[in-house]
Structure 1
Amino acid sequence: MADFHDIVDFVRASFAEPDAFIPLHDPRFVGNEKRYLNECIDSNFVSSVGAFVGRFEEMCAEFTGARFAVAAMNGTAALHMALQLVGVRRGDEVLTQALTFIATANAISYTGAEPVFLDVDRDTLGLSPDALAWWLEANVELKAGIPINRTTQRRVAACVPMHTFGHPAKLGDLELVLDRYGIPMVEDSAESIGSYYKGQHTGTTGKLGVLSFNGNKLITTGGGGMILTDDEGLAQKAKHLTTQAKIPHSWEFVHDQIGYNYRLTNVNAAIGCAQMEQLEYLLGLKRELAEKYRSFFEGTELQFVSEPVGCKSNYWLNAVLTKDREQRDELLKYTNKHGVMTRPIWELMSRLPMFKDCQNDGLVNSIWLADRVVNIPSGAPIRGYGKNIA
């Protein structure tokens, strides 16, 4: 196989950086970002009121194919809001995967519900329809049409699959299982703008979906999120609740329910508009890099994680599978020591102290993957770009 020295050399050659530190994923500003920011400053509209917020929402809706897009201050806030909108309440249970970034589980906890952690598929790294079907059959019954956990007597209020590293989960199969129980799907598409399941953009199969525009995402607003839905009523309610539930009025301050200060600022949205203009270009560079990695690792002991069959991935974070945890740790140690940033996949949610008592199904594939996944540098490789930024 290619030894670790060869891997470091290949990464450096791919980014045309023979000596510099290679980050895992850094942003690319190659368009109108500065121009649009100046427009915000010149207009004095820098907060949540301004033309760029609406424009950014329209661009995201058009790109993803969602009827409506509602901007939020970050992906976690967007997911919290989406869960509220489908009716998740304190004392409910929400099905999700243990192999995810902590924001997924945190957003569920913000509602007062408890996450139930189910296994993933090895080919998608996303929630397994088979694991979902098995757990529901073993644990849930319908009482007056409401899915109730037989053991806890709690309502199962929603399911949140996450598209890991931009690779789409098996949405069609998940939807078929959930429909039998009347459980709404909320897609955590934080990592997957530009990814498609059987030709449909992620985040648009479930009742709602969310995107993230954090600084480490494929495109960024510095910090930002987006709620996607085809339901006009939910979109209107999302916009109302994320703006402190304020009733529109020329001068009065009247609020009709508990709301949230979750709206995206015009400054952030301005960056987002400029980034959206470059999205297709950046997606192309990301797929080129992924193909280089796939070819490089072919025939070695390390297996490159490719997009699932029938899907198109944005390859937000490229990843390889090592043969075991020992090799994983050796790769992590060597690459980071030699200036190439690599990272393991997140610690399983079920192993964190605040979630250790939550229900899970054994998580066989999740544990197997946690011992083997290593993320490798994945920023869009633009020649000479790194020399122009701090």
Structure 2
Amino acid sequence: MSSDIIPLSVPNLQGNELKYVQETIQQEWVSTAGTFISDFERELAGYVGTQGAVAVQNGTSGLHTALEVLGVEKNDEVIVPTMTFIAAVNPVSYCDAHPIFMDCDDTFGLDAVKLQRFLDNECYMESGQVYNMRTGRPIKAIVVVHIFGNMSNMPSIMEIADNYNISVIEDATEALGTYYTSGGFKGAFAGTIGTIGVYSFNGNKIMTTGGGGMIVSDQSSILERARYLTTQAKNDGLYYTHDEVGYNYRMTNVQAALGLAQLEQIEKFIHTKRENFNKYLEKLNNLPDVHLLPFNDQTRPNYWFYPLWIGEENREDFIEFANNRSVQTRPVWSLIHEQKPYQKAQTYQIEQAFKYQRNIVNIPCSTNLTSDQLDKVVDVITQFVAK
């Protein structure tokens, strides 16, 4: 990307990244073994407050592993949001299971009211397992995605899931560092409330390992199973015996070295994200027809992305207008239930997702965004509104 373009979200590598990576090279531990992996797992688990963590290649492999650990298999069903990145849904297909697409609420996350309605009116319980009336298939899990660093309505979702004996996978790939500041889950981080949580360290996330992800849980049996599956389901390290099919999902020591250095700076990153978000709020406050959408007021969000309500009639024109002025913006992903692989999948009362998908554009939010760059973004938005 040209240096004069203001990017949407890029890494900030100003800490101990080079030092730690050099150590991996000097030690010649650059593959899927080495002390940085275990150190990163321990420090990440300590940061979010879980019993342990398992480092993986990316968030997608973490979600796939989570489904496998929970026993999701062929012809099972999994409730998923439609407004998300497709990587939150594809792992359901990897398991030969079937997604059921749910609407979002004003947190951008899965709508708990419609989730309750669907389970009450469209499903039945038998021997402690909930089944879909339409298909007769068991519903094994709910994937909750915390969009843009916002927190979904976890108190309601967890109560519903407990009542119906359904496991919850938290896709917190965009929400590392977000936590509740009030209510029954006060102090609980995104990714730590459900049965299993998954984080991503892709290049555009609030902290990065280039690629990479992490599985977290408070259940030792889940962590052990996840570690087993992600290291090729190896029973014997000398003779390489395997009792089942596993996966080559282990993070490398080089990635973990980057991750450890990034994690040391996570609170600084969130502070910067919050300050820049508030500057945008102040500078855009008096503009008509556009506004930044708020985060869940019961949380300390990580402010990963800044969703700007621009209006459906203006969205495409604004993206082109900003791009022509070297400001990168991005619309919300196309809804997953409308994507070709999932057009025949079951959906339930999807309404709000269309509104957000068609009216939101994300604006530059990197932690190394300068004041001059932020002012230029504001100026571009102001010019567009005035034209």
Fold-level match, TM-score > 0.5? yes
Aligned to 1:181: 164
Deviation, structure 1 residue 199: 2.5
**1:140-187 Cα deviation digits (max 9, x unpaired):** 100111101011000001000100001000101101111111011000
Aligned to 1:361: 348
Retained in 1: the 8 A contact 2:236–2:242? no
**1:210-244 Cα deviation digits (max 9, x unpaired):** 00001111100010000010000110111111000
Retained in 2: the 8 A contact 1:73–1:223? yes
Retained in 1: the 8 A contact 2:203–2:210? yes
Mapped pair 1:126 → 2:116: no
Retained in 1: the 8 A contact 2:177–2:302? yes
Q: Using the alignment, how far apart are the partners of 2:284 and 2:371 within structure 1?
A: 25
Aligned to 1:288: 275
Aligned equivalent of 2:316, options 325, 329, 340: 329
Moved more, 311-320 or 202-211: 311-320
Deviation, structure 1 residue 382: 5.5
Aligned to 1:163: 146
Mapped pair 1:60 → 2:47: no
Q: Using the alignment, how far apart are the partners of 2:274 and 2:15 within structure 1?
A: 20
SS at match of 1:148: strand
TM-score (norm 1): 0.91
Q: 1:384 to 1:53 in 2, by over 3 A?
A: farther
Aligned equivalent of 2:298, options 310, 313, 321: 310
Aligned equivalent of 1:224, options 212, 234, 238: 212
Q: Using the alignment, how far apart are the partners of 1:350 and 1:331 within structure 2?
A: 26
SS at match of 1:136: helix
Aligned to 1:30: 14
Q: Using the alignment, how far apart are the partners of 2:285 and 2:140 within structure 1?
A: 43
Deviation, structure 1 residue 266: 0.3
Deviation, structure 1 residue 299: 3.4
Aligned equivalent of 1:350, options 332, 337, 361: 337
Q: How does 1:26-105 map to 2 (within 5 A)?
A: 26-105=10-89
Deviation, structure 1 residue 381: 2.9
Moved more, 352-361 or 298-307: 298-307
Structure 2 unaligned spans of 5+ = 181-185, 374-387
Q: How many matched pairs? A: 366
**1:343-389 Cα deviation digits (max 9, x unpaired):** 10000001101001111113110011111010000101365999xxx
Aligned equivalent of 1:279, options 245, 251, 266: 266
Q: 1:133 to 1:299 in 2, by over 3 A?
A: farther
**Aligned residues with identical type, % of pairs:** 37
SS at match of 1:246: coil
Deviation, structure 1 residue 296: 2.0
Q: Using the alignment, how far apart are the partners of 2:348 and 2:277 within structure 1?
A: 33
Aligned to 2:286: 299
Q: Using the alignment, how far apart are the partners of 1:199 and 1:132 within structure 2?
A: 25
CA-atom RMSD in angstroms? 1.6
SS at match of 1:354: helix
Aligned equivalent of 2:361, options 374, 381, 388: 374
Q: Using the alignment, how far apart are the partners of 1:382 and 1:30 within structure 2?
A: 13
Structure 1 unaligned spans of 5+ = 1-16
SS at match of 1:37: helix
Give the AA of the match of 2:254. V
SS at match of 1:112: coil
Q: Using the alignment, how far apart are the partners of 2:137 and 2:217 within structure 1?
A: 27
Retained in 1: the 8 A contact 2:212–2:255? yes
Mapped pair 1:139 → 2:122: yes
SS at match of 1:161: strand
**1:14-72 Cα deviation digits (max 9, x unpaired):** xxx9x920010000001111111111111111111100000000111011111111000
Retained in 2: the 8 A contact 1:118–1:363? yes
Deviation, structure 1 residue 297: 2.3
Aligned to 1:172: 155
Q: Using the alignment, how far apart are the partners of 1:67 and 1:237 within structure 2?
A: 14
Aligned equivalent of 1:263, options 246, 250, 253: 250
**1:248-281 Cα deviation digits (max 9, x unpaired):** 43x2111121111000000110110111111111
Q: Using the alignment, how far apart are the partners of 1:336 and 1:93 within structure 2?
A: 41
Retained in 2: the 8 A contact 1:289–1:381? no
Aligned to 1:5: none
Retained in 2: the 8 A contact 1:294–1:306? no
SS at match of 1:367: helix
